[in-house]
Structure 1
Amino acid sequence: MSFDTVIMVDWSGGNDRGATPKKDAIWTCIARAGQAEPPLYHRNRQIAETYLQGTLTAEQTAGRRTLAAFDLCFAYPAGFAEKLTGSDDPLALWDWFAARVTDTPGFNNRFDLAGQINTQFPGTGPFWGNGRPNHDVPHLPRKGRDRTGHDLPEHRATDLAAPGAFSPWQLSGAGAVGGQVIMGLPMLSRLRHHFGAALSVWPFEAPTADIVLAESYFSLLPASYLTGHAIRDAAQVALYARALSALTPDQWQTVLDVVPTAEGWVLGLGHQDLLKGAAMPDLTPPPLRNDCFAMPQGAHWTPVDDALAHLRAQLSPITATETIPLAAAAGRILAAPVIAARSHPPHANAAVDGYAFAGPLPDGPRTLPLHPGRAAAGDPFNGTVPDGHALRILTGANIPDGTDTVVLQEDTAANDTHIALHGPLKQRANARKAGEDMTAGSDVLPAQRRLTPADLATLAACGTGQVTVHKRLRVGVLSTGDELRAPGEHAADGQIFDANRAMLLADIERWGHAAIDLGIAPDDRPKLRTILDDAADRCDAILTSGGASAGDEDHMSALLQGTGTLALWRIAMKPGRPLALGLWQNTPVFGLPGNPVAAQVCALVFAHPALAHLAGAQWPTPQGFSLPAAFSKSKKAGRREYLRARITDGAAEVFPSEGSGRVSGLSWATGLVVLPDAAAQITPGTPVTYIPFASFDL
């Protein structure tokens, strides 16, 4: 059991939406084998139905089995169809609606028809939500709580099982789906009769025909999966078309194995994990381009800005993606924009403890009778506050119906039956608007953003439970040189302790990547080659220190030269200068200088942004601040200089020595003073640029 083509349809109950693509309109998308075509906008139902009939005919002619899935209830709660048609057959109900619905691009009778249907049931209802302003439709209440005694369930079993599903009786307001159903069933009826035996309706009929219709629901997959289109409806049809078309025959057998009832069922409900796996496969990262480090390498010195611009233009993300729980996402990089699953706040609510009433309140003293009950966060008031009355309300509670304004508790005097207060008080004072922070369907955070603790709070507030992120960039750190010993080992004369590796590994961790300790490599090319071979299998990028120049013992440069990818940049900067860049088995290698200060400065200036970009983040630019100098220096033109610095009494003080081997200066400093490429004469008070280490994410 499988389908060659999947067509997803987001239906609408409204009138013609105009020529420009819009939200809350009709959108369709075709997908085959996990590849979706661009979604299509249809301005009204007549155009959309013609398109669907023609497309299904073309697929049938081409010999392709087609599933057409609609974000539209295919049936009503038990008892409704039998009351209207004398049978519980939902397909007979389709025909019943097709015979009674009037539909043109500018007008339809869904509200009037719903009111007429309500007269056939006891009490008031089941339909509600008269959406016509200033016009009361007979027998159709405007609010759901005005119904009583109609003896029908509010939801189908599938609605209760689907998270966040709305009742098909609601015709207007937030989350209304009832209008779509009334205006969608006639279209489904006509498609069914047009194609005859070549079409079946799941789950009421076996899904064995050339064309199968099914009910979908666009909240089975996380909102974080929606990408590629600014309009949410368009992104939804593309996502679900891609996911369903990627299912295997065995997976289809599982998804379609449902015991049919007259209430129907949502396709894929209960099998969300299958849809997630199909919608967001583990992507294979693109290979790094072989010319990513290649710059024209004459004898000239490369300015820092030119080198950074080249890296930014040539590098691109090389990590795959994964979907993880929000609680585990701190420090991770978003691979797709996050769209709010729910507005925040979802309802208008109180900003203070006090009393809610209908505002505004005119100037002067006033006494209001207290209505019984109260509203609290998580325990909303169930009812309507009469005009001229007040209700006790606590911070965060939904604003009760009949009220819109809150008076601060401290500004009232109260007893068991009344409150006394003094105006004036503006309407909606001390009340937060629904969605004033974020609205459902809006973009919350963009792709390429590294998530902060505050971001997690923002995403949690709008209902995001999972996010799609880039996998952590695995960065290996390797020190080279026979003279190096690990700290704590015995060091003979002529040997030094390896200061770079501990520093660079800590840098990598602070930058949010996965740090891999590659140890110390001797000045032995065969052994270094073996170490690099192993590192290329374990790492996405490699930082080395030492051996980055062109001397006899600069084995790293020599090996990269042998791959044909070496770019030995002579950077016009101090400290730093030699920067060996290349690819080892398609893994980027950043060859940093051996002196600790030069290694750290080059890591901050070049590796920090380049690795972030490779990991999928936006290219980070460190923020600098203009401060008066607390030192004197005469600088020649031709290279940029980075001085270890800290702030003393509001001025930038620099470390007494500029030597690259004076590693203690990195501990002394809290940032870097950056002197420009041009000549400069610095005296105390001269403005200089100070970049704190925090701007490099340290």
Structure 2
Amino acid sequence: MTNICYPNKHELLSVEQALLEIRKTIETVNESEHVDLPQALGRVLSESVVSPIDIPSQRTAAMDGYAFAAGDVAAGQAAKLQVIGIAWAGRPFLAQQTPSQCVRIFTGAVVPEFADSVIAQEQIEIDGDTVSLPLDWQPYKNIRAAGSDVKQHEELIAAPKKLTARDLSLLAAAGIEKISVKRKLNIGYFSTGDELVALGEPLAVGQIYDSNRYLLAGLLSDPNHTVSDLGIVADDPLKLEQTFKDAAQHYDVIISTGGASVGDADFVKQTLEKCGQVNFWKLAIKPGKPLAFGKIGSCWFFGLPGNPVAVLVTYEKFVKPGLEQLAGLPARQALRLRVRCDSRLKKSPGRQEYQRGILYQQAGGELAVRLAGQQDSHQLKVASQSNCFIVLNADSTGIDAGEMVTVEPFSAEL
């Protein structure tokens, strides 16, 4: 069954319309599991976490120095204090003190009850067990109050969130050993095409090695995914239908590459219509116009084009947001920058284009971009050398060298 969501059946669906359709259609998985903190990196937090303790749990020294009571020292006057002990991190000083006494203290150590000030070791002079304070010493400094980072019962991390190393450190500081995360998504992927050959096999005339499964394996590498490579499926409607039906029984998502256009041997869309629902399949994007999205039973599917660069673009723009939606993450916007383009960019109006570029930083710190090479959708070397998409709106007719363009970096490193 086809459920085309185009404003006009003869029009191509825009990138924004396709994303909206994906986001309003896909529902988040409900199941969660508890995992130990070391296994939580990159997982999606399913329940907000509150702190069972104050962090820090006691008053602690913010630096190495000497702890004392400010009331024992006259303000604005030099003073001498007797050192009566040492407070180590993890080994507090517990003895009592009398006026004009102090304790040597190290960063992170518990401040003795009698003390309300810590003076940095660089500010004092020491003679045996006597410390001399300067005239300009200041009271009530260099002490971290209990709960100055997090109060007991305060929310530590709000769900949903994909957990970072910083998050795990915060959770560990609160003494939390296990947390609740969304269960992993089960994803199966395969390639279609009689021309495809697996690695290790000789190439006959007209055949090519299947690179798309290796591209998808890398793109799908994520702690929230359990991924299965279902191999290569021939251009045979019956085999393709059986593959879809079998996979739909075992996976949350199926991703295929190839066979999604309108050629005589492109069977993906018609097969999906036979055994499921196709929400859309033609988009105003380049590369990647033929993309089928829909559902077979309770299993979502994305039928991507066959050209590898089109797979890269459509995965990043549609599949990845769909998987994030399914995993329970909020919608996000890719980082976009406006930079000067050093290359002339050719484009015909009608489709939004994602050209492959090289974003670089000049000596003065300004960012600029240039084309990575030829822009045919089969050219993997250019894709390998690029580090960003140059985004050209559907109505753009090209860019002259020196003009400003929008880029989406692949990462924060250039």
Shared fold by TM > 0.5?
A: yes
1:377 to partner: Cα distance:
1.2
2:180 to 457, 465, 468: 468
What letter matches 2:240 in structure 1?
L
**Is 1:382 aligned to residue 70 of structure 2?**
no
Distance in 1, matches of 2:175 and 2:395, equals 52
Residues 447-487 of structure 1 deviation map (CA, whole Å, 9 limit, x = unaligned): 12111111111111122111100111121111011111112
Counterparts in 2 of 1:427 and 1:543: CA distance versus 1, 3 Å: farther
2:260 to 548, 556, 577: 548
- Note the residue ranges of structure 1 that are not aligned, 5 or more in a row: 1-289
1:537 to partner: Cα distance:
2.9
Residues 584-636 of structure 1 deviation map (CA, whole Å, 9 limit, x = unaligned): 23200001010000111000111111101101222232112121101112534
Q: For residue 669 of structure 1, what is the aligned residue in structure 2? A: 386
Q: For residue 694 of structure 1, what is the aligned residue in structure 2? A: 411
Counterparts in 2 of 1:404 and 1:528: CA distance versus 1, 3 Å: same
Distance in 2, matches of 1:309 and 1:582, equals 14
RMSD after superposition: 2.2
2:76 to 363, 368, 375: 363
In terms of fraction of residues, the more helix-rich structure is: 1
**Is 1:336 aligned to residue 47 of structure 2?**
yes
> After alignment, is 305-314 or 632-641 more displaced?
632-641
Alignment of 1:622-661 (within 5 A): 622-648=334-360, 649=362, 650-661=367-378
Q: For residue 211 of structure 1, what is the aligned residue in structure 2? A: none
SS in 2 for 1:434: coil
Alignment of 1:38-49 (within 5 A): none
Runs of 4+ in 1 over 4 A off after TM superposition: 290-297
Q: For residue 585 of structure 1, what is the aligned residue in structure 2? A: 297
In terms of fraction of residues, the more strand-rich structure is: 2
SS in 1 for 2:411: helix
Distance in 2, matches of 1:387 and 1:548, equals 84
Distance in 2, matches of 1:470 and 1:427, equals 49
2:318 to 606, 616, 623: 606
Q: For residue 272 of structure 2, what is the aligned residue in structure 1? A: 560
Q: For residue 327 of structure 1, what is the aligned residue in structure 2? A: 38
Identity score, percent: 34
Q: For residue 316 of structure 1, what is the aligned residue in structure 2? A: 27
**Is 1:500 aligned to residue 204 of structure 2?**
no
Asked whether the 8 Å contact 1:385–1:391 carries over to 2, the reply is no
Distance in 2, matches of 1:544 and 1:479, equals 6
SS in 2 for 1:557: helix
1:393 to 105, 111, 114: 105
1:295 to partner: Cα distance:
5.2
Asked whether the 8 Å contact 1:319–1:614 carries over to 2, the reply is no
Counterparts in 2 of 1:365 and 1:688: CA distance versus 1, 3 Å: same
Alignment of 1:201-240 (within 5 A): none
TM-score by length of 2: 0.92
1:296 to partner: Cα distance:
5.2
SS in 2 for 1:694: coil
2:400 to 683, 686, 693: 683
Counterparts in 2 of 1:396 and 1:519: CA distance versus 1, 3 Å: same
Asked whether the 8 Å contact 2:252–2:298 carries over to 1, the reply is no
What letter matches 2:35 in structure 1?
I
Q: For residue 453 of structure 1, what is the aligned residue in structure 2? A: 165
Counterparts in 2 of 1:334 and 1:566: CA distance versus 1, 3 Å: same
Alignment of 1:379-458 (within 5 A): 379-458=91-170
Q: For residue 307 of structure 1, what is the aligned residue in structure 2? A: 18
Larger-Rg structure:
1
Alignment of 1:44-55 (within 5 A): none
SS in 2 for 1:543: strand
Distance in 1, matches of 2:212 and 2:113, equals 65
Distance in 1, matches of 2:187 and 2:263, equals 26
What letter matches 1:653 in structure 2?
R
What letter matches 1:553 in structure 2?
A
1:369 to partner: Cα distance:
2.2
Distance in 2, matches of 1:419 and 1:291, equals 84
Distance in 2, matches of 1:294 and 1:385, equals 78
Counterparts in 2 of 1:408 and 1:463: CA distance versus 1, 3 Å: same
Does 1 or 2 have the higher relative contact order (CA < 8 Å, sep 6+)? 2
Distance in 2, matches of 1:604 and 1:414, equals 63
Q: For residue 53 of structure 1, what is the aligned residue in structure 2? A: none
TM-score by length of 1: 0.56
SS in 2 for 1:666: helix
Counterparts in 2 of 1:384 and 1:567: CA distance versus 1, 3 Å: same
What letter matches 2:330 in structure 1?
Q
What letter matches 1:328 in structure 2?
Q
Distance in 2, matches of 1:638 and 1:511, equals 38
Distance in 2, matches of 1:305 and 1:386, equals 72
Q: For residue 46 of structure 1, what is the aligned residue in structure 2? A: none
Residues 120-145 of structure 1 deviation map (CA, whole Å, 9 limit, x = unaligned): xxxxxxxxxxxxxxxxxxxxxxxxxx
Q: For residue 196 of structure 2, what is the aligned residue in structure 1? A: 484
What letter matches 1:480 in structure 2?
T
Distance in 1, matches of 2:381 and 2:157, equals 40
2:282 to 552, 562, 570: 570
Distance in 2, matches of 1:589 and 1:312, equals 14
SS in 2 for 1:425: coil
1:680 to partner: Cα distance:
4.7
Distance in 2, matches of 1:396 and 1:575, equals 56
1:350 to 53, 61, 69: 61
Counterparts in 2 of 1:512 and 1:610: CA distance versus 1, 3 Å: same
SS in 2 for 1:475: strand
Residues 376-420 of structure 1 deviation map (CA, whole Å, 9 limit, x = unaligned): 111122244444421111110111111121111122222443211
Distance in 2, matches of 1:428 and 1:530, equals 74
What letter matches 2:44 in structure 1?
I
